[in-house]
Structure 1
């Protein structure tokens, strides 16, 4: 590839980044402005023009998936020799290489989680930790180590900055000290220690420094606003007295300060590196002018000197919607209706997201989507390929691939293996079991896609291993439910920002001006996730009779006159009955299980039904699901079909009497289902 080919298709600012082949360079890149495109083309242009050697470039980012995307793009640009890694992956590779030569013996093992050690520590210091507490303790230790705050300095440090520890500071010191002592005793490394020891090896051993700096001469750091002091220490150690460094970031997307990240290194880059080239990317290719205008207005109030005013490049789209609901249940039901309406207009469910401030808010939306028959997935902190059920599945699939015959069909083989560890035809109602089912279902759907291209089981396993290395999770056909923090770096055609109230956004414990502004940036990140459709909503109370709430202060001046939706007279689909009892129609016993309530009888009670009718209903459901391009359970679950076959409804009222069939399902499928039931009845009479 010629250097001129690399520059083709770049806008003027991206081209300026690409041609700034030697550092120091600072790229301030707003949301959706093509920063990854700019920095990959910069690296490719520098290599193809002869300014740098591909093997001498180290591109650093924060997630394995982002590093994988960088490598993929660089390969496409003809520079596969560039190293693109996370801070931890790059440091661990150097540490394990030099440890036997410099320290001697095998390097320590790396722990994936601090929780097992902390549970032991809590017992050793006489603290009976609640189930959630070790996670809080782990997060606090990670914050301290990222800021290079050692146990002996911890109490004074948190007092100085006004930080509230998860336990009293003196007790936190004891836990921190005991954790570090146990980690060393067991010859273990956590992620922070990897960075710290790598920096120490380079600093204290000249031969290590010489070899590392001979290998890597040019550095690129993505998401530089998220760098913490420990990562900055390692980066400075890699650089030495050189300044061939390009950093890329957006101070307006600094939302991880609670982990120790700071945007000061990004905003202060020209001071630290006098004469640095500073380039701003403000052309937004992601979102419509309407979404971009709202994003700009969110930050205008802050009057930050580092604010980037985005300029939309896409055609016009709909105005963002602002909706006020009476309570949270009404808000969730309203969002479910809006999602269904967008899906009917052609917006894929996988291109739709519901974003909230804290994970606890997802429950109302899980329930609303389940009732509306809308598939969803909850995006949490766990990376897909690190989930226990996925790791177990990959191990089983890898074992099966070793003995797979050439003629084995991929999809049936994968379904058979996954069914043994929890993949059922219908999903569980919710909770962790539902999340595990969604993970297994995603693997099964990926197998079906690859089978259509002629892949076998060994090829499928190889694809999984490639995706795991790059954290490229398979797509799931469903609405994404995620926190605003988990949504950073992602984008969807349609985004619903929900629960935007005082006390939630900004969160109630955000007190200082700096904390409030970080909450404002969270809203900005949420807005800029949307490509076309954006809806913002809030509820006046959590539940009827609850304490009143008011919309977030961040919405002042943004909303105009919001639509007000009252839940006092909801449509039949949204009505809820509380503590209603359902009795078995056979024996009269009160039913507790949801499946039994839907059937209207105890699972053990005998009942007669037309098996041929049930088979016809299943065949119809399969065709309806295929046409709508959704899983079968979204149309009707097996339990609902069983209930229909048992009751053979003759009217809409009969159909609505079956638990789980509301107005939406009736309008969508009622006529077809009743026709099938009538035809079955006619055949019975003829017989």
Structure 2
């Protein structure tokens, strides 16, 4: 441990714990620095030449951890024998690449967007996607296609035939996504002899494996982690079970909590000190967990531990989310000298967040003009490294669709690899496109569209003109926004996982607020309602100094009664 770092007792216990561990970390617990110091402690034992593997579930989390490890001088270059990467990349590098894939005549190739491949039996047929079909049988799964409105008098048989052919051809060519990877890994680990050899090899390379953000595990991931543990490698699982939202990668809280019980009691370690948020926010977010998983109340131990601002409940009338929410929240943030750019408005959906700041966004569907406008706006409003990366890829994908290089989003990865652009050579041009298409002050939608056509229409594949591809659309005005220091960011909650802001406004809708309160009071365990409650918890826990929660007027008093604990009283403001 460095002289400048003074860990809490809970952090110190984790840093010095040499066995397996299941770590429950509250929001803002300082787990990244704790993992850095754990690595320093482990790697200081030079008699053991094995490395440490750090796994997480998003590129942004991996980049942050790697940056911190290098900043504090823990990892040397080259990295070997240690490993830092996503859980998916770990599986690909150690379970797939060295052995190939059974039934495949080509070297395996990773195609992350394979599930987005279009499936249709003839040109004028409704397009479905590969994710709407069972990957092992090719059978259509209606529950996965509810948003498509799929209907065929003859049934899905023709689509299933195409899906089965597509799956078989992809398998032969070695085109795998991470769903395929997990199937392959499961088959390999079911072979006891193979599993024993691979376990010994991994044990020979790694003395410890740390799995961060483990709330994003799915059941298959947990089985792999359990296998690593049984193979003799020390495994540390770090998570906040209440942050498993949007079924991200199939993440499931209940399975994670059951997995916790497989660890010895001495190996279950808490991190309840919150370095991010004020005391009133810590109290509120503790109350935003369901009773069964509420646990120990978080304690404010960071730079805002003396902040006295109360949680604000913005009470609105009517069934729709009003734009007055954003205006009132902006005024509250201004009192604390917090600029709008650091005060996002968050909701379960992009639409609700946009409505709260007066920027209702239409569904782009397949309209290339609206898709481009959305991608450009996403590029300019993106924050944090991972989100910038995703926003840039999204813009690149749309530009390729407009120019005719790909027919749909599912073709993106194959095109990038086939064209030799997977080294990132496309990034400078797409960054320039995004910057050039920034909305100018007072610019009309028609003027912006003309600039977009002139900029993108220089390299087209096919006979249609740029005007036919980027058509005028009456909804374009509502998508385009001048990106200025006075504009409040409006985001869906999933876009801010892992981030933090001085001020946050969380928007609850009339449709979900009652169900969420039922979960928080313990009167409901409905899975859908529990999921909605977790989203609010994730959003609220991003706040450092100011937390506002917008709710329908009829629910404001009930929310206040629930949040008022330990002398921290929320204030209701009517808007």
Q: Same fold (TM over 0.5)?
A: yes
1:223-302 alignment to 2 at 5 Å? 223-257=213-247, 259-274=249-264, 276-299=266-289, 302=290
CA distance in 2, matches of 1:272, 1:522: 27
SS where residue 479 of structure 1 aligns? coil
Instruction: Give the RMSD, CA atoms, in angstroms.
Output: 4.8
Q: Which residue of 2 aligns with 1:422?
A: 437
Q: Which residue of 2 aligns with 1:24?
A: 20
Q: Which residue of 1 aligns with 2:531?
A: 518
Q: Which residue of 1 aligns with 2:291?
A: 303
Q: Check the 8 A contact 2:509/2:551 in 1, yes or no.
A: yes
Give CA deviations for 1:409-432 in whole Å, capped at 9, x if unaligned. xxxx9999548963564486789x
Unaligned runs of 5+ in 2: 362-376, 401-415, 456-482, 565-569
SS where residue 521 of structure 1 aligns? helix
Please report how far the alpha carbon of residue 30 of structure 1 lies from its aligned counterpart in structure 2 after TM superposition.
Answer: 0.8
CA distance in 2, matches of 1:113, 1:416: 22
SS where residue 383 of structure 1 aligns? helix
Q: Check the 8 A contact 2:286/2:297 in 1, yes or no.
A: yes
Q: Which residue of 2 aligns with 1:123?
A: 121
Unaligned runs of 5+ in 1: 402-412, 441-474, 541-548, 566-687
Q: Which residue of 2 aligns with 1:73?
A: 68
Which deviates further from its counterpart, 181-190 or 95-104?
Answer: 95-104
CA distance in 1, matches of 2:389, 2:318: 30
Query: In the alignment, does 2:392 pair up with 1:385?
Result: yes
Q: Which residue of 1 aligns with 2:163?
A: 179
Q: Which residue of 2 aligns with 1:43?
A: 39
Q: Which residue of 2 aligns with 1:535?
A: 548
Q: Which runs of 4+ in 1 moved over 6 A?
A: 101-104, 152-156, 167-174, 378-382, 390-395, 397-401, 413-416, 427-431
SS where residue 273 of structure 1 aligns? coil
- TM-score if structure 1 supplies the norm length? 0.58
Please report how far the alpha carbon of residue 180 of structure 1 lies from its aligned counterpart in structure 2 after TM superposition.
Answer: 5.2
SS where residue 37 of structure 1 aligns? helix
Q: Which residue of 1 aligns with 2:56?
A: 61
Q: Check the 8 A contact 1:317/1:533 in 2, yes or no.
A: no
- Structure with the higher helix share, 1 or 2: 1
Q: Check the 8 A contact 1:284/1:311 in 2, yes or no.
A: yes
Distance 1:561 1:103, change over 3 A: closer
Distance 1:338 1:256, change over 3 A: closer
Q: Check the 8 A contact 1:6/1:45 in 2, yes or no.
A: no
Distance 1:92 1:378, change over 3 A: same
Which of residues 493, 510, 519 is equivalent to 2:502? 493
Distance 1:381 1:521, change over 3 A: farther
Q: Check the 8 A contact 2:320/2:510 in 1, yes or no.
A: no
Q: Check the 8 A contact 1:366/1:430 in 2, yes or no.
A: no
Please report how far the alpha carbon of residue 480 of structure 1 lies from its aligned counterpart in structure 2 after TM superposition.
Answer: 2.6
CA distance in 2, matches of 1:217, 1:199: 23
Q: How many residues align?
A: 479
Give CA deviations for 1:74-127 in whole Å, capped at 9, x if unaligned. 22333323312111112222356314699886423332324652x2x2336996
Please report how far the alpha carbon of residue 269 of structure 1 lies from its aligned counterpart in structure 2 after TM superposition.
Answer: 3.8
Please report how far the alpha carbon of residue 550 of structure 1 lies from its aligned counterpart in structure 2 after TM superposition.
Answer: 5.3
Please report how far the alpha carbon of residue 516 of structure 1 lies from its aligned counterpart in structure 2 after TM superposition.
Answer: 2.1
- TM-score if structure 2 supplies the norm length? 0.69
Give CA deviations for 1:538-597 in whole Å, capped at 9, x if unaligned. 356xxxxxxxx75596565338662222xxxxxxxxxxxxxxxxxxxxxxxxxxxxxxxx
Bigger relative contact order, structure 1 or 2 (CA pairs below 8 A, ≥6 apart): 2
Q: Which residue of 2 aligns with 1:463?
A: none
